[in-house]
Structures are given as C-alpha cells and as structure tokens.
Copies of this chain bind each other. A is one copy, B any other.
C-alpha cells in the first residue's frame, strides 16, 4: 500500500507541479553533493530554473507565472522529499519574488529588466545598522542565515529605523542590495540542512537609495512602495505568508520521504540479537501508521490555509490580523507535527540508521532543523496566538 498524505491521488496535478516533478530525480541524485558542498548544487538551481519553479510568484510582466499558493506549496513539498536543503533555499529564492513585487517599481525593473531569471536571497532579521543619509541610508552589518545566497544577485537585508507608519517608532526595514555591494562569508558549518548554504553576508558602509528600502509594516498593510504596481491577484495581500510558506512545506516533504524510507527499510530489518523481523511487530507498524496520520493532518492544515490565503488575495481584501495569526501559527504547528512524525520513526530505526551512508539520520537532522527557524518556533507561535485568543496585547516574546 502506498504512502499518501493527501486524499488526492497525487500532488502534481497542475502544469506547474508536473514540470517540477520532472526534475525531481536529478535533484534527488544530488542530495549527497548538497551536503558535501554545503550549498544547493548549481545543477539543482539550473534544473529548477528550467522547470519554471522560480517563476511562481514573479509578476507576469517580467515573465512570471503568478500561481496560487495552493499550486506552489505542493511543489515545495515534492522538492523537499527529493532534497530538503534544495527545497528550503530554492523555495526562499522563489518566494522572495512575491515580496519584491510589492516593492518600488524602479527596484523591480533594476532586478528583472536585464535578467528576468535573477534571484534574490535574504537575511531579514534587523541585524544591520543603517545610518540615514541624503536619499537613503548607508548600511553596514553581518547578515547571517542567507539561504541560497550563492545563487542570488541581490539580497534583502534587515535593519531598524523609525517608521512613519507607526508614528516614527523604530521598526524593521529591508534594504535590497546588489551582489556587488556585499561579500559572502562562508560560515555554514551546521548539523542539519547543510545544503542550504545559509552563509553570512558582509556589508561595509554601502549606500542604499530610498527606492530600494521598504518598511516591514508597510509590506503587511498595503502601504509598501510598489503595492498595486502589479495587477496580479496574488499581490493584493500581505507579503509574510507568501514569503514564509516554504518552511512548513519543506518539513512536511521531509516527513513524507521519511515515511517511505522507513517503510522500505523496516520491511526487511532484522534484529541482530534475535533475528526477529522488525517489520512484522506491532510497534513498528503502529509507529508508521501514527506518523502517517500525523503527516496527513499537517498537510491538510497547510493545504486548507494555502487555499484560504490565495482566495483572500484574489478577493482583493487585505487579510485581518486574526487571519494573519492563524496562517502564521498554523505553519509552526504543522512543522511541529511533521518533526514529531519523523522522530517517532527514527526513534525505532535502530543503530544502523545512524551511519552516515544511511539517509535516515540526515532526514532526521534536516527535519528537526526545520523547527529551529523563528517562523517555525512553536513557543513563539503559541504565545502569539494564545495571547491574541485571550485578547491580551502582543508582547516581545512573540514574533
């Protein structure tokens, strides 16, 4: 009996999904290379570019596809089953296009006019220092965790400055900086998702003109410079759900892959001490069933929200704060479920699963790390939603 995490027979029932599906075998074949190079292999980026994956959320006027989240999400799940790191980093590169499409028209042209396939990486926590100067800021800082930066020609970098939208209070802004303005410092030596190449970008006193700067709050309230610059329905909304939807999709994709690997391996596994066939024992198959149910529930949760926030965008009404909180925190919960599903199976996979040549240990590490991102952190998500459900003001412990 096959592993299925959704009622529909297959994810890849869309044209977009089908094109991505064709390159999955080659991406899967590079999974060792990704871990070794500690970045997404060039061949994977090329394959996904050819498949049109990076076009998903790019405005049509620059050659993009403007697909909905319910079309895009399953593709990220599929890629993650082939190579989690590739899905994580490439997903971000694709998702950033949605954010860029809300920024100034001038910036969009700068990025995509000459090269409509240009990619943008990010480091959005406000780690930089922006000194106000005439016509913009001078930016400096060490911007860490920039997944996929090796394949990007621009970077979205966070810093704090007073934001008129909130009466001049300090708030996160993003400076979008061309590749020539930053160096990549390779400090990506980690225990999971090794192939994302999430290195540190070094910026030393670089001028960023105002049209390349956006307020985070502006991007969440329809007040960004380029809001309305693209007619596509998917751009009439907040950036956050589109920007961040990949993390949980990757987590579910890894979990689905683990279900398959576990099923294969446990069927033939015997205990060294007794010769017993593990796969015929109740705990072995009950763990599989429970993880299967859990991954289905995680996928059902995400799937419902992908449709909901796409539909909301199409309605051309901005989401409410409640919707924002549900969509955001449901993702952290889905990630938590997917991680638990993998861990339940890995727990019962024995010592041989720990050898480096066994993909189980890598999938387990990758899976766990999908929960380490701020966006996936369930303590943050639960605090934020919980306070809101009881009518308490948001506090700094939230996101």
Question: Which A residues form the contact surface with B (CB < 8 A)?
Answer: 1-4, 6-8, 124-127, 145, 172, 189-192, 263, 266-267, 271-276, 279-290, 292-294, 296-298, 300-301, 303-305, 307-308, 322, 325-326, 329-330, 333-334, 337, 343, 346-351, 353-357, 361-362, 365, 368-369, 371-374, 377-392, 396-399
Contact = CB atoms under 8 A, between A and B. Distances in A.
23 contacts: A1-B325, A1-B389, A6-B304, A7-B307, A125-B272, A145-B351, A190-B356, A191-B362, A263-B389, A274-B396, A276-B397, A282-B282, A282-B286, A285-B382, A285-B383, A288-B389, A290-B333, A296-B301, A296-B333, A297-B300, A297-B333, A349-B372, A351-B372
Nearest to A321: B1
Given A7-B308, A354-B372, A386 B300 contact: no
A21 B156 CA distance: 49
A303 B303 CA distance: 11
Contacts of A271: 374, 380, 396
Chain copies in the assembled complex: 4
A218 to B, nearest CB: 17
A272 B389 contact: no
A290 to B, nearest CB: 5
Contacts of A385: 289, 292-293
Contacts of A294: 333
A343 B343 CA distance: 10
Report whether over half of chain A's contact residues are helix, strand or loop; otherwise say mixed.
Answer: helix
A391 B279 CA distance: 10
B350 A377 contact: yes
Nearest to A355: B190
Given A1-B322, A7-B304, A125-B273, A293 B354 contact: no
Contacts of A379: 281, 283-284, 286, 348
A279 B7 CA distance: 34
A172 B355 CA distance: 26
A190 B164 CA distance: 54
Contacts of A391: 1, 267
Contact of A3 (B124, B369, B389, B392): B389
Contacts of A378: 290, 347
- A-B interface, 10 closest residue pairs, ranked by CB to CB distance from nearest: A285-B386, A282-B282, A7-B308, A289-B386, A125-B272, A293-B333, A300-B300, A276-B396, A283-B379, A191-B361
Taking each of A7, A281, A371, which has the highest tally of chain B beta carbons within 10 Å of its own beta carbon? A7
